[in-house]
Structure 1
C-alpha cells in the first residue's frame, strides 16, 4: 500500500459512472442498487440562474473545481501533519496523501462523531483554531461565489465550521439534515461541504437522499410539535428526549430509504475531486458512505455554513468548534 501513488487524481481511478458501486452505511445491509444513483454536477461557468434553479429543485448544488486544487491539498497536508503524532498515517507516506495506517484500530482514530482517544481530541481542538484552517474558511473564491450565488450583500461565516476525517473501517456520518443541529435561528442558511482531497463514491463522501428536502421539513415539523412541552433550551437541542442519543435520524441508509422515504427516493453519490464544493439546503437529508477506499485514503472534509448578514442565526455556532462544546 505504501508504494501506491495516492496523489493520482480521482478521475484516473474513478468509480465507473456506468456501474454504481455497492454502497454501505454504518449499519444495515447493502443499499439496494435500485435505490442508488449518481449526483449531477455543474461547472463554474454555468449561468447563475441555472445554478439557483437546480439548487431549488434538487436541494443541492455540486460545483466542480470551484476552489483551486492545490489550495485544498495544502489544507489536507496541514491537517494530517497536525495529526501525524498519533500514528494515524501509514509510515513512510506523505501527510498530503493521508493514508491510514492499517496497524491501528480505526475506531480509536475516529474523527468527529466518534469517540477518539484524548490525545486526538486535543489535536482536533487545536486544528480547528489554527490560522491555516481559518484562512481556508475565508478563501476568497469560496466567499465570492457564496455572495454571487445567493445575492447577499454580505455573508456571515459561522465560526463553528467542522473538519471531519473518516478512516477506512471507522464510523461514517449518520443520516441527518443540518437544521437538526442549527435550530437556534429562524433564518435559512447555506451549507458548503468541501471534500479536502479526492474522494471516490466508496471513499466516505456524502450521499444525498434524492428530492428529500420536503421530507426533512416534514420530519422537523413533527419534532417541533412533539417538543412543545420542553423548555426553550431543550427544544433547540439536537439531543433532546425526542431525538436519538447522537442526534442522527438513523445509521441504516437502506432501511431509512425504504421505510422513511417509502422506497421512492434514491441515495445519490458522486466521485469528488479536491476543489469541488457541494452546497445543500438546511433540510436536505444526507449521510456519508462507509469509507472503503481501496488505497486506504482517509476521507477529510469540512462543513462550512453561511447566513446572510443581519439574519436570525443560531448564535450557539458563533464559537470555534471544541469537542466539549455540547453541540
Structure 2
C-alpha cells in the first residue's frame, strides 16, 4: 500500500505508513509488550516549519527529527568509538568498527556499556568506556554546528549550554539496556527545565535497542516526581539524589516495560521507531522512556549519546558540569 497523503501534519505518535508490522518490544526483564499497546513514532523531516516542530514537541513531549546531522559524520563517530573500544574484544573478528558488529563468542554482560552501576568487572574495559567520553573526536562531535544551530532555533535561545556530563552508551545484543525512567530524576538540582537530545550513532531499529516512549506520559512523569518529593522528609542533598530511598536501586522506575505499561501506564502505548544515522530525538525532562532490548538480527551494537541542554544563564544542575566517571554518584 502506498504512503498516505496528509492534508495536515499528524501528531507525532500517529502511524502514517501502512502496512508495516509493529515491532516486538521488550525491556531488560519481563515479557514482550502486547502488540495492542505498541505504536510507531512519526519522523519529522528536517524541512518541517519550526512552528510545527514546536507544536509536535509540546503535544507529545518529544519530536523525532530526521537528518539533523550529516549521516557520514555520524558514521565516522561510530567508527571512532569502536576503534577506541576494539582492544576489549567487543567486535566480531574481521568486521569493520564502522559496522559495530558484536563478537557473538563474548558474554554480553561482560561487555555492558550502559553506564551507571551496570559496568563490566574488567578495569581495562571500564577505563576505555570512561576515556571514550573525552576523546577530541567525540568532543568535536558534540559541538557539531548543525546540531547546535538546530537546538537554538528550535528552542528560541540566543545561546545554548550543554552539560559536560554526557552518556555515551553502547548496548550489545542481548546485554543490559537502559531502564525506564524520566530524565528529571537525575537532574534535580537545577531549577530550570532542560532539553534532552538522544543521538543514535548509527542505524538503530526498534528491535535493535532504540528508545521507546510511553505516549502522553509527561503529566504522569510530573505527578510521579511530585509524589516522590512529598513521600518522606528528606534533606536537600537526599532530595536531589536520583538514587534516594524513594527510587529503585539504580534510579530507574522499572526494567519491565510490559508490566509498567499494564499498570502505571494503563491505556497508553509504547512508541518506537527505526532510527537512522543522522536522526536526533528531542524530549522533555518528564517524558517516560527507556531502551528496547537489543535483539538485532545482524548483531549490531546500539551506540548512542544522551545530551542535555539549557539556555545560557538558566539555573542548571551544576553537578553535571563535569565529565562522566563511574564513581561520580550521578
Instruction: Give the shorter-chain TM-score range.
Output: over 0.9
Structure 1 position 91 matched with structure 2 position 96: no
Paired residue for 1:212, among 217, 225, 229? 217
Q: How large is the RMSD of aligned CA atoms in angstroms?
A: 1.1
1:141-173 residue CA offsets vs partner (Å, 9 max, x unmatched)? 000000000001100011001101000010111
Following TM superposition, where does structure 1 have runs of at least 4 consecutive aligned residues deviating by more than 4 angstroms?
A: none
Whether the aligned pair in 2 keeps the contact of 1:163 and 1:301 (CA below 8 Å) is yes
Per the TM alignment, residue 112 of structure 1 is displaced from its structure 2 partner at its CA by 2.4
- Deviations along 1:186-212, whole A, 9 cap, x unmatched? 101000000000011100000000010
Q: Residue 231 of structure 2 aligns to a residue in which SS?
A: helix
Residue 16 (structure 1) shift: 8.6
- From the superposition, tell whether residues 294 and 247 of structure 1 become closer, same or farther in structure 2 (CA, over 3 Å): same
Is 1:255 matched with 2:259?
Answer: yes
Which residue among 293, 296, 299 is the counterpart of 1:296? 299
- Whether contact under 8 Å (2:114, 2:176) holds in the other structure is no
Does residue 130 (structure 1) correspond to residue 132 (structure 2)? The answer is no
1:42 and 1:61 in contact (8 A); partners too:
yes
Structure 1 unaligned residues grouped into runs of 5+:
1-14
What residue ranges of structure 2 are gaps of 5+ in the alignment? 1-16
Find the aligned partners of 1:163 and 1:183 in 2 and give their Cα distance: 21
CA distance in 2, matches of 1:182, 1:279: 16
Other structure's SS at 1:56 match: helix
From 141, 148, 155, the equivalent of 1:150 is 155
CA drift of 1:115 comes to 2.4
**Counterpart in the other structure of 1:61:** 63
Q: What TM-score does the superposition give when structure 2 sets the normalisation length?
A: 0.93
Aligned residues: 311
Alignment of 1:1-327 (within 5 A): 18-113=20-115, 114-116=118-120, 117-227=122-232, 229-261=233-265, 263-327=266-330
Secondary structure of the residue aligned to 1:325 is: coil
- Cα shift readout 1:28-50 (whole Å, capped 9, x = no counterpart): 11100001000011111100000
CA distance in 1, matches of 2:19, 2:272: 10
Q: Distance in 2 between matches of 1:17 and 1:265?
A: 22
- Shift of the alpha carbon at 1:314? 0.4
Q: TM-score, normalised by structure 1?
A: 0.94
- CA displacement at 1:17 relative to structure 2: 5.8
